[in-house]
Amino acid sequence: MKYYDDLRSYIDALDAMGDIMHVRREVDGDFEPSAVTRRSYEIQSPAPLFHKVAGVAPGFRLFGAPASLSSVAGMPYARVAMSLGLAPASSGAEIIEALSAARHQPGIPPVRVSSENALCHQNILRGDDASLDRFPIPFAHDKDGGRYANTWGTLIVRTPDGKWVNWSIARVMKVDGKRMVGLMVPSQHIGQIWAEWVKLGQPMPYALVQGPAPAISCVSGIPIPAHADEADYIGTLAGAPVAVVKAVSIDLDVPATAEIVIEGHVSISRDCQEGPYGEYGGYLGSGSSAQPTFHVEAITHRDDPIWPMSITGRPTEESHTLWAMGLAADALTHLRDAGIPVKTTWIPEDSTVHWLLVVMPQNWRDLLPGMSSEALAQRIGEVLFATDAMVFIPKVYVVDDDFDPTNLREVVWVLSTRVHPVGRRAIFDEQRVIRLPQCYEEEEYVQGKGAKVVFDTLQTTRHLHASFEQGYPADVRQRVLDNW
């Protein structure tokens, strides 16, 4: 296990494993880097590192697919695991357990270093020099409303009273060299903090951090409780405090080893059009909405900076790996805190964050005496659909632990053979609905209300599988293997 405290050491580690694809020819500054990255997701190739992008200064680089599935055989979740300081061969269940366990451990607050010791302050740009036009920001998809300046960066904001600092990922579109426009969802933490500044009538200070330590990017993209500081949680995962430095133009601390830091203020009104954008559900966007403007006032960066990007779309990209694991860990934590003895939770990558599997141990009936599977499904829904993170998940499946939930072939077999066509489900009407899940009707999006469901697939009697492992005596299996 090793914690990587900057993006470059992480890239070097992936490279040593053969999981980096060096693109040394010049690529265009519009669509080519995103198209290469998108194909790398779809064929599960090494992560592309672009060394030469047209239209920007030599040395400025792009890094795609930072936390998607690994190309290394037998270690599909290596990029996520290594980002979090876990062993490359960690299983999905082990990653989720680590994320959940850290929720109940004391946080380790960050430590501030001097500007002279902060790599992100190697270059400081102010005034007209602080322009986004310096950087290789491509179009993510050809139907997008603009170049997206944030797909894998960390937005840092703080409440006016200074009591809550939030690090998160939200999509932000470049308008021009001095302006961006970001999706500000009221229910998300950044939206809640922005609303406090709006009440005061004051623009919100922000820092947009590109290429910090990979754990920072990962934790910024997963749910943790409101008013908890992500920096403290990252310190717990790392076992050491995150090094931060005071921003050069605003009163915020930023990760000291980051590649690029953009500083400024967010407008108090939704005064600029954002979108469309191709999202994680796998479809190109078709609409836009009024969102607040992010004004650019200062930029700092390392020498020869690297700009990471996640190109959302069909599986499998960071939404379906890291974010899904974070949502699953959040569900696991809430269910266990409610006294439900869940073995693990999992969101299959190919479900595009529309399914959640709740895996129950074989002896769950002994642990919950007198509870039927129908009552258990109802209780699971009551717990989960009361949480903020579950606004993204419309379908929950309660399953036995006699298969591998991370193996899509086995998941399809279990759901096909154990989901009753009509019964054995708990339906929750009038649940909160947002536009990101793709399965609702337009009137449900407009009303912000729709149904969610928990499918009870638990077996009354466990059946043996007609498989190599369960269909033959042990001595026969061994003889087959010995002579294979």
Catalytic residue among 259, 263, 274, 279: 279
Beta strands in 65-171 (DSSP E): 111-112, 123-126, 148-150, 154-158, 165-168
By CB neighbour count within 10 A (0-12 exposed, 13-18 middle, 19+ buried), where does 440 fall?
middle
User: What is the torsional sign of CA 169, 192, 183, 43?
Assistant: positive
Find out whether 67 and 312 touch, Cβ atoms under 8 Å: no
Among residues 166, 157, 168, the alpha carbon closest in space to that of 219 is found at 168
Which parts of 181-303 fold into alpha helices (H)? 189-200, 214-220, 230-238
Does residue 381 contact residue 348 with C-beta atoms inside 8 Å? Answer: no
Which bin fits 447, alpha (ψ -120 to 50), beta or left (φ > 0)? alpha
- Residues 481 and 484: their CA atoms lie apart, in Å, by 5
| Ranges assigned E (strand) in 75-223 | 111-112, 123-126, 148-150, 154-158, 165-168, 172-176, 179-182, 204-210
Residue 55 token pair: 């239209």
Catalytic annotation present for 279: yes
Closest of 58, 45, 154 to residue 110, by C-alpha: 154
State the catalytic residues: 279
